[in-house]
Structure 1
């Protein structure tokens, strides 16, 4: 057993969708979450920039003595996790678009993926797509979705119009699964459901990441079985949106530059 915290980082508030799944599955674990909102979105940055920011975030969490790091960001995972694992001696859990379950279960043999430019252009993403050549995969970059979420505009008219522009061509091409390839996007599910026909299923990676986190902690004898956890969130931007998404009286939000 280790009372050290689980560390998580994301380009901003979106990775809290992953944090919620982890906290639900592992309710006794201390957690430290880093929201690098001042540098969001990562999806428009170069691979080199993403690696640099991911290393900076990792070192921040290592200074807090975390026992494992969850890269709660698709863009950071697909562009930087290989470098992180080779540089640091700590277990890393990544998050990638859940292409496999969608491809295996699709009845129309057509699935849609909504993700950031950084994820769609990554080598890791390309390999995942190539391994499912029997399925038509429609890729769509979610331009400007992350900035709107970061600014608390999830249910805005602008958000709805963008989502219609991105999703309607997928609907017309008969997708039956929509894969959300960014940890910010689960917060859009209520709005997305208003646009998609009811038969189209939405998949994100949160639950799978939580289970993998538990498995790695178990393998390393690091699980906590019973304690009142501390839930700490660091942000380098105004914490209002972060607080509203967490909606937790137990969460401690700290605003600071890093």
Structure 2
């Protein structure tokens, strides 16, 4: 039993997302846990998940999890807000492995930092329609006024690397989506999609400096540290960990654009078939 536990400690942290947005989660985990090995799966053949039906997102999430489990992982991170909203409960019932999602950490942070009780949430259409953030925030503090807005064009902008707040297209798109939230007087805005952190500067420029932007990637990474500590699953070998990347389509594109999300160069990504 001891040997089995020690081996499990050396297993990787598994992360999946519909594309490259989940790299913002990987970046924060890597910052806090540089010694850990990480396996990242970007389902680039089927991005985005935010426009898919719940049944389809669940099917994709199960396939992603099955693949990562074969790579010997000790914890699974659903680094996609849409999949977190739709698939978390089913995956936890189906698999005997710790599973963390990105919605609860973001909701908790929003509740803790809001000053006037008006919280905005932006995300994909599927995430907003699921009301997952609204429910999570209300469960933590029922008197908070939650205003949610779907911003579907933010994902393709991020995937294209169009993030400059001075870019006319970026600014006009952000203004179109965020104007109502700004006028409502929210003081906290949850970035309810892991693609959105790369658009932080553009979003902040529209919302103004007084509005706190909650990045669920940062909060999720803290939860990973807490979970590994509680379960005694920290990697025992102090050697710096390695990151492995898997994609379901166009690996060279993932490598090129991944640098924007990760902040460091990705050397290569392995093309896999999980269809």
The answer to whether TM tops 0.5 is yes
Matches within 5 A, 1:59-208: 59-96=66-103, 98-122=106-130, 124-131=132-139, 132-155=141-164, 156-208=167-219
Q: More helix by proportion, 1 or 2? A: 2
Change (3 A) 1:39 1:157: farther
User: 1:129 Cα shift?
Assistant: 4.5
Normalised to the residue count of structure 1, the TM-score between the two structures is 0.92
CA contact (8 A) 1:117 1:141 kept: yes
Cα offset, 1:257, TM superposition:
3.8
Alpha-carbon displacement from aligned partner over 1:3-22 (angstroms, at most 9, x marks no partner): 21111000111111111111
Structure 2 stretches lacking a partner, 5+ long: 1-5
Corresponding residue number in structure 2 for 1:248: 264
| Aligned-pair CA distance for 1:104 | 4.5
Superposed CA offset, 1:49-73 (max 9, x none): 1110000100110111111111111
Match among 242, 248, 254 for residue 230 of structure 1: 242
> Alignment length, in residue pairs?
258
Partner residue in 2 for 1:50: 57
5+ residue gaps, structure 1, are: none
RMSD: 1.9
